[in-house]
Amino acid sequence: MKIGAPKETYQGEARVAMTPASAKDLQKLGHDCLIETNAGMAAGFTDDAYREAGVTVVDDAQTLFAGADIVAKVRPPSDDEVKLLREGQTLISFFYPGQNEALMNAANAQGATVIAMDMVPRISRAQKMDALSSMANIAGYRAVIEAGANFGRFFTGQVTAAGKVPPAKVLVVGAGVAGLAAIGTATSLGAITYAFDVRPEVAEQVESMGAEFVFLDFEGEQTDGSSTGGYASVSSPEFTAAQLKKFREIAPDMDIVITTALIPGRDAPELWTEDMVKSMKPGSVIVDLAAERGGNCKLTVKDEKIVTDNGVTIVGYTDFPSRMATQASLLYATNIRHMMTDLTPAKDGVVNHNMDDDVIRGATATHGGEVTFPPPKPKVA
């Protein structure tokens, strides 16, 4: 089969779904690879680097879509790109079918199969294809780098001839994939790092990474009782009150706050209130990784960096993986390559879209002229 990656058309998107390294691996599965000219430039991969890896470079998106059996992308397709899909063709990209119903129906009307990388089930066997986690890992790392670039002091404490420098204090709210990456980055830069999550089982992970888990003075019902399957669910009002009380206590002492708290399928919980921001020292920095879903901080402005009247910088960028386009492309392209490995079991260049496979089934949003989203729950854990 021919696998092609077009240049991303979403404004500012610098990632690419195929790298020279992933193309070599795809060829080992028996596939041929195509790339649109300059598709990798913003991520640091030249057309020549693709040519050296055996990839055919084509002039434009039309030629790419016409020549590829499988189109690999990062962002969901634009309305124009959907029109380029055709019957029997497969698109693999982030798609968010639950939020993009019209787009999904349009792709289905074209007769295309859609594999949504954001729908890969989060089971052990599928970790190598878990693009949400690879991008969250980058976002967590980059959030700390961004915080550091906006913070006027060192992270690490120093005793120098010119004076004693105290270490920065960093609080990470939400210790999922992004939060743990942020904790690892902040501690490795020498900050004193604190972390909180509604899932107490992550306390051990937080501590093993050299951070201190923030425990609440709370006894009672922690959640609203909905089933979670390992994910966070909505906190009870009493628990939220205890959480906010604790945050209010520690806010004046924190130099940097990275918020990553999310509950699947909901707007981001508001956890860092205006009065907490007001109580922080001038020069402090908040990076809100939940900005896309409304923000954990009351004052976050999506896709912007603002400075409050009391001198606190609040970063609400939502494109951290694209700001590290080389790393993000390398990991994302590898996630796609693993998906292709599962789709090409005989390594003979023939795709077997096995709908009995939990992972392939889970990620498939349209197939064979039918909308197959939402998928049934996976059978294995």
Binding site for ligand NAD (CB under 6 A): 122-124, 127, 130, 133, 136, 173-179, 196-199, 230-232, 235, 260-264, 269, 271
Pairing state between β 169-173 and 256-259: parallel
Q: Between 97 and 179, whose beta carbon lies closer to ligand NAD?
A: 179
- One-letter amino acid at 128 equals K
Rounded to whole angstroms, how far apart are CA atoms 200 and 202? 5
Strand partners, 258: 172, 287
Q: Residue 22: is it exposed, middle or buried by C-beta count within 10 angstroms (0-12/13-18/19+)?
A: buried
- State in angstroms the smallest separation of the CB of 139 from ligand NAD: 9
Catalytic residue among 158, 231, 248, 275: 231
Q: Between 163 and 264, whose beta carbon lies closer to ligand NAD?
A: 264
CB under 8 Å to 2, separation ≥6 — which residues?
Answer: 31, 32, 33, 34, 67, 68, 69, 70
- State in angstroms the smallest separation of the CB of 19 from ligand NAD: 22
Taking CB atoms, the residue at the shortest distance from ligand NAD is 176
Catalytic status, residue 133: yes
- State in angstroms the smallest separation of the CB of 290 from ligand NAD: 8
Q: Between 130 and 319, whose beta carbon lies closer to ligand NAD?
A: 130
Catalytic status, residue 127: yes
Q: Between 198 and 299, whose beta carbon lies closer to ligand NAD?
A: 198
Q: Between 47 and 357, whose beta carbon lies closer to ligand NAD?
A: 357
Both tokens of 92, joined, read 């693999």
- State in angstroms the smallest separation of the CB of 127 from ligand NAD: 4
Catalytic residue among 75, 122, 199, 293: 122
* Nearest partner of 90 among 372, 376, 374, judged by Cα: 372
Contact 367, 377 (CB under 8 A): no
Rounded to whole angstroms, how far apart are CA atoms 75 and 68? 17
- State in angstroms the smallest separation of the CB of 181 from ligand NAD: 9
Pairing state between β 192-196 and 285-288: unpaired
Q: Between 233 and 372, whose beta carbon lies closer to ligand NAD?
A: 233
Catalytic residue among 22, 93, 133, 222: 133
- State in angstroms the smallest separation of the CB of 126 from ligand NAD: 6
- One-letter amino acid at 216 equals L
- State in angstroms the smallest separation of the CB of 375 from ligand NAD: 16
Strand partners, 193: 170
Q: Between 45 and 247, whose beta carbon lies closer to ligand NAD?
A: 247
Tell me which residue has tokens 């700390």: 144
Catalytic residues: 122, 127, 130, 133, 231
